[in-house]
Amino acid sequence: MLARLKQMLIKEFIQVFRDKRTRFLLFGPPIIQMLMFGYAATFEIYHVSTAVLDLDHSQESRELISRFSSSRYFDVQRQLTDHRQIDDLINQGTATVGLEIHAGFAENLRKGQTAPLQVIVDATNSNTALIASAYITQIALGFAQDYQRDRIYRIAPQVLEEIPSLQLEQRPWYNPDLRSRWFFVPGIIGSLTLVLVVTLTAFAVVREREIGTLEQIMVTPIRPFEFILGKTLPFFLIGLFDVSLIATVGTFWFEVPFRGHILVLFAGAILFLLCMLGVGLLISTVSSTQQQAMVTSFFFIMPAITFSGFGFPISTMPPWLQYLTYLNPLRYFLVLLRGTYLKGVGMEILWPQMLAMAVLGFSLLTIAVLRFHKALD
């Protein structure tokens, strides 16, 4: 058995590494995608295109505008003269935010009255609109508090010392600077591993069937179990190496802290790879051509990433979808990745995720092997 399995492994590794382009595709794209997604996947927004209509032309209005201009979140590109220009710029997509300061803005402030600031936001992208609105609120409140403090200081300096103040000190755990990249990079590691292992496993078996070598292999003394093990074990080893490679690039390039134990991470990666090998092998049993395998893989990959908690909280999904996510191995692997990276927790916390991936991996591999036996018969 070991001799036959050894020959099968040698054949697979020769098949994988004999082509230069294949060697590059195994290791080049994961690194490139990690770098691209690491920069692109973020909740933070910067340099939002902003247009300003100042109808007051006062020192106060110019001070407020300067706060937006000096902020890294907004890029004040245009100073307008007519409110109709704001509508045109937003409709054209040239500006995302429009600020309109009405005449009498400074006069209302000097009288101690409310001075409205009209904000028009292009909410086509709701995430950008929500975050931009929050930034605008912070800047406007900061301006109002500073102006009120200066006004009281000019009128009655002694009162300023008697007014109670509330100061909020934020001390977020695990991610003190609230960097969304620290949240996304571990998720990218899991997502890229899923795509790589599923497609490699599904395409490898289907390719054997499509070019006719599957029947030739099966007439040899090799057993179906040995054939399946020989086809999947190389991609398990390649997947494990790619996990290490992607995780190394993501950790050092994006400076994401790794606070956990490396053995816990690799134990979770092994269980996750077994799940993905089962999925890839299962896809190969229902596909006759590589085109069918590609379409079927896409049908699995996109929902698996979407319903894993990679970019959207699972708690915000409808209840029936939340129950379906328990069948998604990537859901548990992302919890394990973010737990080991950011929280530094170990098996005493992550054992439910380990157990869930072990059960799913065993179930998927069992179903895939049984279906593969049936397909061979």
DSSP 53-68: EESS-SHHHHHHHHHH
Q: Is 70 a member of any domain?
A: yes
Q: Residue 135: helix, strand or coil by DSSP? A: helix
Asked if 303 and 200 sit in the same domain, the reply is yes
Q: In this structure, what are the phi and psi dihedrals at residue 76, rounded to the nearest 5 degrees? A: -75, 105
Q: For the whole model, what pTM was predicted? A: 0.80
Asked if 127 and 223 sit in the same domain, the reply is no
pLDDT of residue 231: 73
- Which one of 129, 162, 195 terminates a domain? 162
Q: Is 362 a member of any domain?
A: yes
Q: Is 109 a member of any domain?
A: yes
Q: Is 171 a member of any domain?
A: no
Asked if 192 and 288 sit in the same domain, the reply is yes
Asked if 208 and 242 sit in the same domain, the reply is yes
Q: Is 366 a member of any domain?
A: yes
Amino acid at 143: F
Q: Residue 52: helix, strand or coil by DSSP? A: strand
Asked if 15 and 92 sit in the same domain, the reply is no
Asked if 254 and 335 sit in the same domain, the reply is yes
According to DSSP, the β-strands at 117-121 and 74-80 are unpaired
| Contact present, 175 and 183 (Cβ < 8 Å) | yes
Q: Residue 118: helix, strand or coil by DSSP? A: strand
Find the domain containing 253 and state its range.
Answer: 2-41+179-376
Asked if 208 and 122 sit in the same domain, the reply is no
Summarize pLDDT for 52-72 with one digit per residue, the tens: 999 888 888 899 999 998 888
Asked if 93 and 138 sit in the same domain, the reply is yes
Asked if 365 and 223 sit in the same domain, the reply is yes
Write out residues in the chain with pLDDT < 50, as ranges.
none
Q: Is 172 a member of any domain?
A: no
Name the domain count of the chain: 2
Asked if 213 and 110 sit in the same domain, the reply is no
Q: Is 54 a member of any domain?
A: yes
- Which one of 162, 191, 215 terminates a domain? 162
Task: Say which CATH number the domain at 103 has.
Answer: 3.40.1710.10
Spatial CB neighbours of 60, under 8 Å, sequence gap ≥ 6 = 105, 106, 109, 115, 147
Residue among 204, 220, 216 nearest 4 (CA): 220
